[in-house]
Structure 1
Amino acid sequence: MPTPPSVSAVRHNRTVDAQPLDWQNLGFNYIKTDLRYLSHWRDGAWDDGTLTEDNQLHISEGSTALHYGQQCFEGLKAYRAQDGSISLFRPDQNAARMQRSCARLLMPAVPTDKFIEACRQVVLANERFVPPYGTGGALYLRPYVIGVGDNIGVRSASEFIFGVFCIPVGAYFKGGLTPTNFMVSSYDRAAPNGTGAAKVGGNYAASLLANHEAKARHFADCIYLDPATHTKIEEVGAANFFAITRDGRRFVTPKSPSILESITKYSLLDIARDRLGLDVEEGDVYIDQLDQYSEAGACGTAAVITPIGGIQHGDHYHVFYSETDVGPVTRALYDELIGIQFGDRPAPDGWLVKVK
């Protein structure tokens, strides 16, 4: 598709002497970029969508997103390779997950081609914000769907907005991979048969207090156990959990209907099996059997992998490989995935979608 007219208009009107970004010191913070994408669903269909400079949403005070939590979102990144090209990492998987989230909350699905095209337009319109190769940074994209319109009753909205905005983000780890410690929370992240497998805001709102209490005790975040029996690990803060068995031969990750299916986790499962030659397993990881594992980590779009040094559960504190050094399998997984994302290592078919 041709570049939307509004892109060139913004480039023409942009302040010439705008302060350059400090690529080496980007965090994970909101930065207003040039353009974002908006599309409206009315009368049973999505419109063509458009790019806009306005980063404020104008919605009805009765919007179901505000009162009943009818909304979902995604997170993915665009990476600049050494040759200057820019690629999205597995956007079709984010589109599919958003479709599942929309179905769970009775919202209209965003077709995969529309989702990817919206992301492509946003990356191209904000190309100057894509961090240079070698800085460790990437362009983070946040697609979302919200219920809007003049509503008051508990029901699905009659109108919806699909939007995508982006921010440049730096390397999550300053100074390299560093093991981090976590504590087991007494709170549940999601209810059995609830919305745990959907990427909806309510799950994250429910985690704020648990996260606050963990940090007050000087832990990075908390470990959530399964809501039915409180015996099995499900998630690590807003990330998925994985572990490596003591013989170094098996990659294990929890499986549960209340876990959000991480695209990073499933990428690591493939890498562990196909490139590192490990056996892989999705199953139960019991909190009282952590001595079966030599390494552990949290994985997600923001950090890729956060090595876990230790886990506090009640009065017991379990240390995995080390609280200061990263285990060899965890490092190999990280290096391989980062290499694929930045184009330094061959990508499996369909994992990278070229934007430029």
Structure 2
Amino acid sequence: MGSVNIDWKNLRFEYIKTDYRYVSRYKDGSWDEGKLVEDNKLCISEASTALHYGQQCFEGLKAYHTKEGKIQLFRPDENAKRMNKSLKRLLMPEIPEEKFIDACMQVVKANEEYVPPYGSGATLYLRPFAIGVGDNVGVKPAPEYLFCVFCVPVGPYFKGGLKPVNFTVAEHDRAAPKGTGGVKVGGNYAASLLPHEIAVEKGYADCIYLDPSTHTKIEEVGAANFFGITKDDKFITPKSESILPSITKYSLMHVAKEYLGMEVEERDVYIDKLDEFKEAGACGTAAVITPIGGIEYNGDFHVFYSEEEVGPVTRKLYDTLTGIQFGDVEAPKGWIKEVK
């Protein structure tokens, strides 16, 4: 293993080749044992279903260095469950939860020197994914599959600390009413590239997607989940079959209720009733929380707490959850898996 020469403080959220990744193959009805390999290139058939029919899905989670020098994963069992939901939706073979967690553990352990030091604000991002491979030209499930996990050290999503950003409402739909919006498949992200680019060209960080049936309710914010804090301190987040169930969001709901004593509700959030919220944010693995300064809709621009400052409740939620992830705040039972 070469010594790692990384400027941890200036890491960005981008690909860096690390030493090892995990690969397992599904063939003749079962997964093989899986192994760590050094090569970061996959060799697959030109007829693989992943290339033609979108038979592929992925996950994202992180490993953290604690103050005491331990390395820990945050709720990997939830990522395993969510990946199996995606796999089932695409008629791909499920991955046993123990296998998924073991693969993540192996990859972190093998790339231990790439786990950024405590206090740098950086983390080790893991990307488990599964693809349909083999010779197949008909529209049907693949004969074989690959399950892989690679890792990349990434910097904090925000270089200048937690800062509010602005969003505009997309004219495009992210997912169909009974489509694949609730699972983590590549097609959802391919569909979001154009609306994202349109939003950025208008000067916004990203776009907000409304429900595909009525276009009256907020569903997702770019590739993240929405939450709002009402004037009487309730944590509200949208409820819909088309929303990807964010592990960060469900963790924040728990933190809001159990750590901050707030009321929590999953319910419809109407785009024309934004004034019920004094603060708002988007949440996901990469950034944890992106505070929302304001939202543009039909020519009107609604500002929440401030376009410059992060609201106090949003900051408290962020500090508590990142505190749990880095081992500075006691975690709920079962949330942390130590890498040994």
Mapped to 1, the partners of 2:323 and 2:182 lie a distance apart of 28
2:191 to 206, 211, 232: 206
Instruction: State the TM-score, normalized to the length of structure 2.
Output: 0.99
Query: Are residues 1:343 and 2:327 paired?
Result: yes
2:101 to 116, 131, 135: 116
1:106 to 75, 91, 115: 91
In structure 2, runs of 5+ residues without a counterpart are none
Mapped to 1, the partners of 2:216 and 2:161 lie a distance apart of 33
Aligned partner of 1:4 in structure 2 is: none
CA-to-partner distance for each residue in 1:243-288, whole Å, 9 max, x for gaps? 00012x2000001000000000000000000010110000100000
What letter is aligned with 1:258?
S
Aligned partner of 1:5 in structure 2 is: none
1:184 to 155, 169, 172: 169
Aligned partner of 2:295 in structure 1 is: 311
CA-to-partner distance for each residue in 1:317-341, whole Å, 9 max, x for gaps? 0000000001110000000000000
Give SS of 1:206's match.
Answer: helix
CA-to-partner distance for each residue in 1:2-40, whole Å, 9 max, x for gaps? xxxxxxxxx3xx3xxx56100000010000000000000
What letter is aligned with 1:334?
Y
Preserved CA contact (<8 Å) 2:207 2:222: yes
Aligned partner of 1:173 in structure 2 is: 158
The Cα shift of 1:55 comes to 0.3
Aligned partner of 1:92 in structure 2 is: 77
Mapped to 2, the partners of 1:19 and 1:125 lie a distance apart of 13
What letter is aligned with 1:100?
K
Query: Are residues 1:55 and 2:37 paired?
Result: no
1:134 to 102, 112, 119: 119
2:23 to 13, 38, 41: 38
Change (3 A) 1:203 1:54: same
Mapped to 1, the partners of 2:160 and 2:307 lie a distance apart of 15
What letter is aligned with 1:274?
E
CA-to-partner distance for each residue in 1:105-154, whole Å, 9 max, x for gaps? 00000110000000000000000100000001110000001000000000
Aligned partner of 1:26 in structure 2 is: 11
Aligned partner of 1:290 in structure 2 is: 274
Query: Are residues 1:236 and 2:221 paired?
Result: yes
Instruction: State the TM-score, normalized to the length of structure 1.
Output: 0.95
Mapped to 2, the partners of 1:109 and 1:332 lie a distance apart of 37
The Cα shift of 1:60 comes to 0.3
Preserved CA contact (<8 Å) 2:4 2:114: no
Mapped to 2, the partners of 1:132 and 1:276 lie a distance apart of 29
Aligned partner of 2:149 in structure 1 is: 164
Query: Are residues 1:301 and 2:285 paired?
Result: yes
What letter is aligned with 1:45?
S
Mapped to 1, the partners of 2:135 and 2:6 lie a distance apart of 40
Aligned partner of 1:151 in structure 2 is: 136
The Cα shift of 1:175 comes to 2.4
The Cα shift of 1:314 comes to 1.2
Give SS of 1:296's match.
Answer: strand
Give SS of 1:223's match.
Answer: strand
Query: Are residues 1:355 and 2:330 paired?
Result: no
Matched ranges for 1:63-82 at <5 A: 63-82=48-67
The Cα shift of 1:173 comes to 1.5
Mapped to 1, the partners of 2:66 and 2:321 lie a distance apart of 14
What letter is aligned with 1:193?
K
Preserved CA contact (<8 Å) 2:4 2:113: no
In structure 1, runs of 5+ residues without a counterpart are 1-10
Mapped to 2, the partners of 1:98 and 1:175 lie a distance apart of 32
Aligned partner of 1:276 in structure 2 is: 260
Query: Are residues 1:250 and 2:224 paired?
Result: no
Identity of aligned residues (%): 67
CA-to-partner distance for each residue in 1:38-84, whole Å, 9 max, x for gaps? 00000000000000000001000000000000000000000000010
What letter is aligned with 1:127?
E
CA-to-partner distance for each residue in 1:225-257, whole Å, 9 max, x for gaps? 00000000000000000000012x200000100
Mapped to 2, the partners of 1:226 and 1:175 lie a distance apart of 33
Give SS of 2:207's match.
Answer: strand
Matched ranges for 1:210-221 at <5 A: 210-221=195-206
The Cα shift of 1:298 comes to 0.3
Mapped to 2, the partners of 1:314 and 1:194 lie a distance apart of 26
Between Structure 1 and Structure 2, how many residues are aligned? 340
1:331 to 299, 315, 319: 315
Cα RMSD after superposing both structures: 0.7
